[in-house]
Structure 1
Amino acid sequence: MRKDRLRQYVQIALAALVVVTSAMGARVFWEQSALNAARSTGETRAELVAQTISDTIAQNTHFPLVLALDPDVQAVLGGSSDPDAIDVLNRKLETIEASGSPAALYVMKPDGHTIAASNWNTEGSFVGQYYGFRSYFTQAIAGGEGTYFGIGVTTGRAGYFIARAVGGDRPTGVTVAKIEFDDLEAIWARAAEHIMVTDENDIIFLASRPDWKYRSLAPVDETAITRIQSTQQYAGTEIEQLRIEEHSSDGGQVWIEGLPANGSFLRQTVHIPELGWTVNQLTDLSSVADASRDGTMIGATGSALVIAILFYLAQRQRSFAMERTARAELEQRVAERTSALREVNETLHIEVEERRRTERELRSAQNDLIQAGKLAALGQMSAAIAHEINQPLTAMRTYIATTRVFAPLGDTGAVLDNLEKVDNLAVRMGRITSHLKSFARKEGMGPAEVISVDRAVQKALDLVDVQLQTEAITIRTSIIPAFTLGNDVRLEQVVINLVRNAIDAVSETPDPIVELSMRAAGERIFIEVRDNGPGFDLAILETLFDPFVTTKSSGAGLGLGLTISYEIIREFGGSLRAANRPDGGAVLTIELLAANQASPALQSEVAGNG
């Protein structure tokens, strides 16, 4: 026994180890697959951003060169101070800028002052401004061309400047095209991407988030800060370092200030060598975490399922072996006891037949007793019912007599009105007599069927309504639609018994009241009959449903009504309870099983209880 238990413990430990190993292996595989996918997507996106920036600049590189060769530009820089010539040049620059993609085009004299610009007629015009301190100007004067990124001194808008010298060894001026990337940054922001472009000093000058701009990814040395301040590259903006948290040893997974808290992002860079810029692409790694979790669950679930199948197959083989052994033993035991059982079986057969005969006699006697109870109830109600039928008959004779008077006179309206009244009275009598016929019919219990509880209750109330009116008893009802399995006539008999008992109980009570209510709770239906009479004697409350126990005066009853009602409800699979009300009077509660169009399980339960 101890060896079997030890073997089970070892098997469980090995299964747990396999599940954990599979979960970890699947987690690593799924996590790595998701990380590779994120890395590939981020790398492609970063290269696309770098290519877009390069293409944007390349599309505007020719503007300064074309302007440097333009005769109007050369004429103005050659010494012509004719205002009309400068005006013509301003308008030409404005036209070129409007039809192209540069943010601004302007022409500078050798001393660094702007003589003409495409924005000549705007509030932030470059005309007359001095930009000789800008590196793109000094580079163009010294080497023929120059480039530069910075915040515009006049407009305060950042852009990339491309400059060309006009003339030969002794330049007569410089032509400049300014390119802005506001539209590109807006596209990044709308796409909810995390992109930043840094210069050679790791200072961010383009970004999808405005709060990242002009902040550094690493400390900037004093020499670079001095150069930036002297050229006003970032218009006097104080360069602060952006807070970065590294989540991996190689620095590839980071969190950067401004991103969602507790997040981790894959940082990938693409260098643009001709510009000295670096594109930083940040890819959200939440999908990697989800993939890691999913991989763990799939690995653990898959291995657990395989282990469960193996255990099932092994257990099944063991069960088959045990079953074969048990079958052999059983066959031997059956062979030994067959002869003895045969003799016992013959004896039991005789006893069963005797019991069946006795049960049939008992059932017949019970049905006769129930029928006698119904007929007794009809007998006690007969006078009141006869009175109830006699009144409509008298009224019908009166209406027929008046109809004979109105008919010869041609009073069709009066005739039709009398006929309608006669019809209503006939319907009323038909309803009473139909209830009496169905109630008085003798029938066995038969198989249980779905019946309408509220309909049976209402028919029972119709039969006792005359007695209630005759004895001036107030009846209060609350009936809801409900179904159960049983026999509707027998349920009517039970309700009539309970209501008539309540009528007898309040016969000597001032302002007598009988209440009948229905309610449903879960799979149960409750019918309660309450009265404001004296209630039950506590001495007989526990034996109230025993045969020949009655609370009525001597000779008023045999004490079988509640016993019959109790047996009928028990055959329905329900129960009947009696109690005294706290505020006086008695209450009898019928509890039945609810049925939803003949549930097979419910039929089986009722059959078992019967």
Structure 2
Amino acid sequence: MSSATAPAKPRVRVFAVAGAWLLAVALACAAAYHFSAERAGAALRAKAERHAAALALDLNGALEKVETLPFVISLQAQVQQGLQHPGDAARIDALNHYLAEVQQRAQVAAAYVIDHNGLTIAASNWQDVQTFVGNNYGFRPYARAALAGDVGRFYAIGTTTSLPGYFLAHPVADPGGSHGRPLGAVVLKISLDAFERSWAGGDERAALVDRNGVLFLASQPDWKYRSLKPLDDAARREIAASQQYTGRRIDPLPAAAAALPVVEQPVGPLGWRLMLFVDPAPARQAARAMAFGTALLLLAAALGAHAWSQRRAHARSLDAARAALSEASTQLEQRIAERTAELVRANRDLAERYRELQQAEQLLRETQNELVQAGKLGMLGQMAAGMTHELNQPLTAVKAFADNAVAFLDHGDPDSVRENLQHISDACSRMGRLIGQLKGFARKSEDLVGPVDLAASIRNAALLLEADYRQHGAALSITALPSARVMGDSLRIEQVLVNLMKNALDAVAGADERSVHLVLARDGDDAVVTISDSGPGLAPQARARLFEPFFTTKPSGQGLGLGLAISSSIVQAMGGQLAATDPPGGRGVGGAQFVLRLPLLDTEEETA
């Protein structure tokens, strides 16, 4: 009996040790799995929170950028006049074109104006089949808010186009204030589809949720127009009354999607929430890897313990390896901390450089404005002698006609007196026009950008230089369209024209034939002003540097070399081009030619 039980005791101890070891391994793996899952989940959540904050900031910025645009549009006189005279076809047509230009420049989906009853009287898409004109949107919350005097905001699917968008409305005040209520409202429709497309392909699933819990933007297409939970009756009635999601059935999210961890950020003034649904699969995968690694580590530890009992030297080697691994981990953490500090310093330096760049840009803009004014005053100084002669001549004529009138009055000849007085009036009118043009040209520009009649600007510039051309015996011929409207600053456009025409006069001053020819024509959607002269022309070396500041081909003391540089800068700021080209007969025939291009505001039919 004793001999049978003796071999069983070592086996029992072996089984007991093995069982205890397996239990310890199972507990360690479970602990490692739990710890790793929590840590990986926290990391995923932190990453999602940073991502959500960035997306919310981007979306808030886009909404804030257009927040004040309806208010600015509501201040336009043509908007108020269109609401006051909805039956005036010309006013409504002009308002339609203005709204179309606003829609294109602001890059919004649509812009339209509704009257105090919610009826659309003008829209940027008045020519489309699905135009808003004639539709009544008084049932929409944004329309009701704006017509009550507040700012209206609403996101919905369009009842006319079936396209979703963010509607932003602002009331149009009655200038007379007699009605006690707005004349109507200006409404902008902004598409948010670009944000939805940018969310696709990310690690997290993004969605924008309204205050009722409906997902109206989602990176997962089948989540769109679903709710976080079943909607109550009040929410369904509200959505149905406003036709917010017309044609869509709002069902709850699938249970698997609703159970995902979520981080969220508030967006906009309507109680929206940007939600990122975090997929826990990577965290579980990392936890399984950690548990498996722990099991392997414990197995390695068991093998190491067994080997230690066999080879003590090998055990000391393993201890050294673990110490080296710990040191490497410490060094790695230290390097990460140092790199983080370097990145913080780099970001600080970048912010400081950006601030300095803004200051330099402001200084450059102020300097450019001062140079523009200095160029105008310098040009007036060059024209001073001609202007003196131009004013002295009519003054002498006025004195002569006045003396003649006195003499005719003494002789009792009232008809001759009347004729002389008429001559005096004509001479005074001419001097008044010339002085008025000089005052307007010398006035400092305030960057008042608006429609400018380029033909009128050419006539004004020619009037300023008429005396100089006559004094130098030069002929100025002008071939121009009756009208060509461009967008810009009238004073700066006249300064460019005066500078080009004065340069042409200087070029022909010493030539046998002294002629300057100006042509205003249309080339596609551009107004083109061509100024050619009969002077000696431009050398290739000079042409390459014409628009450099302080470069001049004139003798010393006759120019600073800023005129063409300033003119080129002015034209580029208006979206145009200024260039020196070969004359029509080629470079060998002599003379210089400058071409000024500016985008036209009118269509070709209107110009014709």
* TM-score interval, smaller chain: 0.3 to 0.5
What TM-score, normalized by structure 1, do the two folds share?
0.47
For the pair shown, the structure with the greater C-alpha radius of gyration is: 1
